[in-house]
């Protein structure tokens, strides 16, 4: 079965897109077949993989114009990692979806024909809890929540937890919390340690792996490649490999092993 992971947090700049790209690349490196779906109109996952979302059918065409998902898929530089790109027209989708029938389930329906074709589908969500994020949460089997270690995040997280409860009650009974991921962790600062301790205390499903603050991770997207292509032996690359192993290990049914 395909595991569909939504990378969600209504706060921007917490590492959703960085995680979508690099977790996707590391799962693919481990031999998994991975599809990344860029549902943020900013298209950072698309451009971060060196691709141009305006040159190809993407998430907008799939959600609003019923273009089949298979026609929207493009390969990336990383073997095993493919993407359905975003482009700026996706910003209009939040509004254009409103009058549509079963508007929260457009993404789920669109991805159904791909079931089994991938081990993982990663959904890179926009920084809001709007209709695109609800589509991702309705389609997902798990939600993975990046939390930036430079900011006391608990208030935002309790809002997100309430939304996830509502989603589970109304849209997607089976949605699991795949895990919280500490990002931009800097072991030298008290604040990082404090945020990490608080998050782990409130959310035992937090991953063991914390992603360190690393300039190499922030540089890679401007070269249009994942950290595995940009600096494969960097601390950031090692951290995302460790995360991929944890994600693989959290699935009792998984047959893909590193
Ligand atoms: P989001 O998708 O949640 O808005 P991004 O993944 O785009 O967040 O990250 C926000 C910014 O922080 C980007 O400029 C990104 O390159 C940078 N960044 C993300 N993770 C790290 C990290 N571990 N170390 C350093 N910079 C990071
Ligand atoms: Mg993003």
| R_g of the chain, CA atoms, integer Å | 17
Q: Is the CB of 15 under 6 A from ligand 1?
A: yes
Measure 228 CA to ligand 1 centroid, in angstroms: 16
> What is the value of pTM for the model shown?
0.96
Measure 13 CA to ligand 2 centroid, in angstroms: 7
End-to-end CA distance of the chain: give it in Å, rounded: 18
Q: Six-digit token pair at 99?
A: 């009058």
Would you give per-residue pLDDT tens digits along the chain (258 residues)? 899 999 999 999 999 999 999 999 999 999 999 999 999 999 999 999 999 988 899 999 999 999 999 999 999 999 999 999 997 789 899 999 999 999 999 999 999 999 999 999 999 999 999 999 999 999 999 999 999 998 777 888 998 999 999 999 999 999 999 999 999 999 999 999 999 999 999 999 999 999 999 999 999 999 999 999 999 999 999 999 999 999 999 985 654 443
**Ion ligand 2: residues, Cβ under 5 Å:** 16-17, 44
- CA distance to 57, 201, 216, per residue, from 90 (Å): 11, 37, 29
Q: Which of 218, 235, 237 to mutate to test the pocket of ligand 1 (most atoms within 8 A of CB)?
A: 218
Q: Is the CB of 107 under 6 A from ligand 1?
A: no
Q: Give nearest CA residue, ligand 1 atom 20.
A: 15
Considering every ligand atom shown, identify the ligand nearest to the alpha carbon of residue 212 and give its number: 1
- E strands, 137-253, are 142-148, 176-185, 206-212
207 CA to centre of own chain: 15
Q: Six-digit token pair at 139?
A: 């389609």
Q: Give nearest CA residue, ligand 1 atom 15.
A: 218
């Amino acid at each position: 079965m395909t595991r569909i992971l939504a990378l969600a947090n209504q706060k921007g700049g917490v590492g959703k897109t960085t995680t979508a790209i690099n977790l996707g690349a590391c799962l693919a490196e481990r031999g998994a077949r991975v599809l990344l779906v860029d549902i943020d109109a900013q298209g950072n996952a698309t451009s971060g993989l060196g691709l141009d979302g305006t040159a190809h059918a993407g998430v907008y065409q799939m959600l609003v114009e019923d273009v089949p998902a298979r026609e929207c898929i493009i390969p990336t530089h990383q073997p095993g990692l493919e993407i359905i790109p975003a482009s700026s027209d996706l910003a209009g989708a939040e509004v254009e979806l409103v009058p549509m029938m079963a508007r929260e389930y457009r993404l789920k329906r669109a991805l159904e024909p791909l079931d089994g074709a991938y081990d993982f589908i990663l959904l890179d969500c926009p920084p809001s809890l709007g209709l695109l994020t609800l589509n991702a949460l309705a389609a997902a089997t798990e939600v993975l929540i990046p939390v930036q270690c430079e900011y006391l995040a608990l208030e935002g997280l309790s809002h997100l937890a309430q939304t996830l409860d509502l989603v589970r009650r109304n849209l997607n009974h089976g949605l699991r919390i795949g895990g919280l991921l500490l990002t931009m962790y800097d072991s030298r600062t008290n604040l990082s340690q404090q945020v990490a301790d608080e998050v782990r205390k409130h959310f035992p499903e937090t991953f063991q792996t914390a992603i360190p603050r690393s300039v190499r991770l922030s540089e890679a997207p401007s070269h249009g490649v994942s950290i595995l292509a940009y600096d494969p032996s960097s601390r950031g690359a090692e951290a995302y490999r460790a995360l991929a192993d944890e994600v693989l290990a959290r699935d009792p049914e998984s047959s893909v092993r590193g």
